[in-house]
Amino acid sequence: MSELTIWTYDWVPEGPRGLVRDLRLRWACEEAGLSYAVRTVPFDGRETNHLARQPFGQVPFLNDGELEMFESGAGLLHLAGKSDKLMPVDPVGEAQTRQWTIAALNSIEMVSVPWWFLKVSGAEKNQLTGWMSLRLDQLEKVLSEREWLVAGRFTVADLLMADVLRVPDVRSFGDRPATEAYVARATDRPAFKKARADQISHFEAADERRSRQKAG
């Protein structure tokens, strides 16, 4: 079996910890029981220091043997193809899982990320607020009628959707009990807890290294 390597930053400030998107790939590997290694690129100079692997200077990116790929959604779909724990094997279940995985990126995160950037920049009531509210209300209706998005069980679509929705500002945007219960179910899974704890530990260890370097 080829070696899976998840690439992330060597360090990030405290605020983003637990939200850097290598967590998505870690979580998927934990759910599927896939062994993996974690390697890093420097956070300092990140805009230009790994453009050969990721043309937009972002993380994560993934190696599977000689295969190299970037974008967390693409990496998740690749990993899901390795395990029926993440992707149903029947054609209908697989198609619907891919559909909802893309929906998490294109119908929800496409709105939530720019809305969040405007909000933290001081525009609490910005031009995307109405669109954001509509999308989350539409998703709330779906989640009020089912436990998981596809096939009556947890899939990679839920992993990605829950990761998009668990951002604190998104979770606190309105009263949507079905969505909140859904995020709580997903993030209560042992695989998520381990992946998040490992990511936090990774960045905390980097704090210690940086402190020693400054002291030295």
With b for 16 or more beta-carbon neighbours within 10 A and e for fewer, the 181-213 pattern comes to ebbeebeebebbeebbeebeebbeebeeeeeee
As given in the structure block, the two tokens for residue 116 are: 């969040």
Pairing mode, strands 4-9 and 61-64: antiparallel
* CB-based burial label for 165 (10 Å; 0-12, 13-18, 19+): buried
As given in the structure block, the two tokens for residue 28 are: 């998927």
Phi, psi at 186, each rounded to 5°: -65, -45
Residues whose CB is less than 8 angstroms from the CB of residue 14 and which lie 6 or more positions away in sequence, other chains included: none
Give the torsion through C-alpha atoms of 57, 63, 68, 72, to 10 deg. -50
Give the separation between CA 67 and CA 83, rounded to whole angstroms.
18
Mean pLDDT of 177-200: 98
Whether 44 shows a pLDDT value over 70: the answer reads yes
Which domains does the chain carry? 4-84+191-215 (3.40.30.10), 91-189 (1.20.1050.10)
pLDDT band at 149 (very low <50, low <70, confident <90, very high): very high
Count, residues in the chain: 216
| Nearest C-alpha neighbor of 161 from the set 79, 89, 76, 66 | 76
In contact, 26 and 198? CB cutoff 8 Å: yes
pLDDT attached to residue 123: 80
CA distances from 111 to 65, 127, 135, 179, 190 (A): 34, 11, 8, 16, 29
Q: What is the pLDDT of residues 86-117, one digit of tens each?
A: 999 999 999 999 999 999 999 999 999 999 98
Whether 208 shows a pLDDT value over 80: the answer reads yes
